[in-house]
A and B are shown apart, each in its own frame.
Chain A
Amino acid sequence: MKRFLLPLGAFALLVVVLLVGLRHAPEREAKFVKSPLIGKPAPQFTLPQLVDPAQTFDSGSLRGGWHLVNIWATWCVTCREEHEVLLQIKQEGRVPIVGLDWKDEDAAAISWLSQLGNPYQVVLADRKGEVAIDFGVYLAPESFLIDPQGVVVEKQYGAMTVEDWRSKFLPHLTAPAKAGA
């Protein structure tokens, strides 16, 4: 019996190591681990507005209230699926949504909004995608919840769903202690 103990132990250890490895596979981590931006100040930027490019929007105006920054584009198929949820969030009226139109054509974006409805308080045109890089965007759509101090509190990779909105995002907005701090 004793002679089996060592190989068996080694095998058990190997199984444990491999299981831990599987759980932390980078492909999973990238999708499910928190963004490195969480808990840090949102990137600073100044961008032209989509509808009126002469008007610019500065990230400084995100301070003083909660904002949901949503990165989208008309070439992004999942964004179309997500659009309905964004309209619902707007309807709820708990937080204004700032749209970041990522590497898009202005005309296409404007007609998208007039056809599907506009959930955004303001839409910014990130034509070169530079601000998106600062946000670490790679999987449009992505959404960032930013608190009144300008700190990123929560992030959604891919389409926002009603479930994720309720379970991950709303609790931040309804916790009065945090919001008032």
Chain B
Amino acid sequence: MNAARLRARLLAAAFALATLGAVELAFAVDNTPQFSDPVLQARYYGLTHELRCMQCQSEALADSNVGLAADLRMEVHKLIESGKSDAEIRDYMVARYSEFILLRPRMSLRNLWLWAAPGLLLIAGIVVALRVLRRRARLPIGEEPVGDDPVS
């Protein structure tokens, strides 16, 4: 019993260490100095994770060790330090690197259909389902539908 508990504790400790190690590795890429203010550091963390590393395939600034990504992280750091808001920093990057730098695209007329599509598809599905159910409800009990019933 005791041995089992010890083993479990050791396992938990090893797991915690491994997790810490992974976190450490994840941060090793970023050499930009940290903010002493945790609020600013959190904003920095957020921004560098939602801006694209332009030279990489679908990688955030925060995760890339490409030289330009390091420069842009430093730029984000400086902009935060100079009192710019998150929106201003996003605009700053878009003005230079186009919308492509935003990993999370902004809603615009061009991509509005994409945002609306799930809702529209759901409505279409409900309409079809209701029509099928209504048709089936009209049938006498025990009789299977024939002909152009898509469910059959």
Q: How far is the CA of A36 from the CA of B57 in the complex (A)?
A: 20
- With beta carbons under 8 angstroms apart, the residue of B57, B71, B94, B148 that contacts A133 is B71
Is B15 in contact with chain A by the CB < 8 A criterion? no
Residue count of chain A within 8 Å CB distance of chain B: 20
Is A135 in contact with chain B by the CB < 8 A criterion? yes
Cβ-Cβ contact count across A and B, 8 Å cutoff: 42
A residues with a Cβ closer than 8 A to B are 2-3, 26-27, 29-30, 33, 35-37, 103, 128-130, 133-136, 138-139
Interface on chain B toward A: helix, strand, loop, or mixed SS? helix
Is B126 in contact with chain A by the CB < 8 A criterion? no
In the bound complex, do residue A37 and residue B100 qualify as a contact, i.e. CB atoms below 8 Å apart?
no
Set of chain A residues within 8 Å of B96, measured between Cβ atoms: 36-37, 133-136
In the bound complex, do residue A2 and residue B100 qualify as a contact, i.e. CB atoms below 8 Å apart?
no
B residues with a Cβ closer than 8 A to A are 54-55, 57, 67-68, 71-72, 75, 94-98, 100, 148, 150
Q: How far is the CA of A27 from the CA of B100 in the complex (A)?
A: 9
Set of chain A residues within 8 Å of B54, measured between Cβ atoms: 30, 138-139
A163 to chain B, nearest CB (A): 24
